[in-house]
Each structure stands twice: as structure tokens, then as C-alpha cells.
Amino acid sequence: MTLVYRAVRQKYATHPLDTKGTWLNGGRWNPPGVGLLYTAEHAALALVEILVHMPQVPYADLPSFRLFTLEIPDADVRVLRADQLPLYWQDDNYSRSQTILTDWLAQPDVLALGVPSSVMPDGINYLLHADHPAYELIRVVEEKALLIDPRLWSK
């Protein structure tokens, strides 16, 4: 089994495997209408992935987060390296990167597709496809508060 990590806002923590947000809004790797669960290979990367989207939020106003450790079946994992992707995969405009995985998004042959983190390209984010039959096999093995050290934030 492979362990992955997911940071979830406290208000959504009762449904850590819910993909409604990405289904409605899309993300870097998926357009709206496809439900993916974005996870990371390490807890620290899960933290970095959420903090990068909140640079203007004062530390005192940061929402509370929960950190989930998820277990996924090893047989349902494939990893893509940055050199296997088009050069534009890191663009801030997601409309182009949302088309890179079109085949997998339409017909997921594996549950988890590892892709490089745009924040830390040496790190791997795992996209878990809600339409894959093995999605129901994902297990939450741990949940705890995700504490954000104030030293990471400007004063």
C-alpha cells in the first residue's frame, strides 16, 4: 500500500475524500466536471500546496486545517516525471495543463497518477480519480490537526 497526504480545511474535514470542489471548479490537472482528489507524497508537501494559495492572508486569519493520511492500493499508481510533460505544465493559466491528462481523466486506468508539484517539482502530488473502481478502497489511516508554524508567515 502507498500512503499519501491530504490537507483539508476544518469545515470540510468530515468528508476528506470528497471531490466536489474539483468537480465544480477544476484544478491544475482537471477541468470542471471531473472529480479528482489532490494529495501529496509527504505531509510537508501537502502543507506547501495549500499555503502557496494564501500569500495575502494574515497568519491570524488562516483557516484551520486537518491532515489526513490516506492508504491507496500500490497496483493502482503510475507516476509521470516533469520531462514527460509539455513545458507549459507549470503555467499559472490552468486551461492548458487541464488538457494534458485528457485520456486518463476520461478513462482512468489507474486510481492514482503521480505528477510533479508545481511548487516543488522534485515532489510528487498524487491525483486520485473518483471514477476509478478502486476509489472506494482508499482508507483514511490517520487524521490530525495540521499546525502551521507562524515562522513560515511574514509578520
- Domains of the chain, by residue range, sit at 2-152
Backbone angles phi, psi at 118, to 5 degrees: -75, -20
At 67, the amino acid letter reads L
DSSP type of residue 71: E
Structural contact between residues 137 and 73, judged by C-beta atoms closer than 8 angstroms = yes
Please count the other Cβ atoms lying within 10 Å of the Cβ belonging to residue 42. 15
Sheet architecture: strand order including 124-129: 77-79, 112-116, 124-129, 36-40, 2-9, 65-72, 139-146
Structural contact between residues 141 and 17, judged by C-beta atoms closer than 8 angstroms = no
Question: Which H helix or E strand runs over 26?
Answer: none
Burial group, residue 47, by CB count within 10 angstroms (0-12, 13-18, 19+): buried
Would the pTM of this model clear 0.85, i.e. be above it? yes
Q: What is the pLDDT along the chain (155 residues), one digit of tens a residue?
A: 899 999 999 999 999 999 999 999 999 999 999 999 999 999 999 999 998 888 788 888 889 999 999 999 877 799 999 999 999 999 988 999 999 999 999 999 999 999 999 999 999 999 999 999 999 999 999 999 999 888 887 65
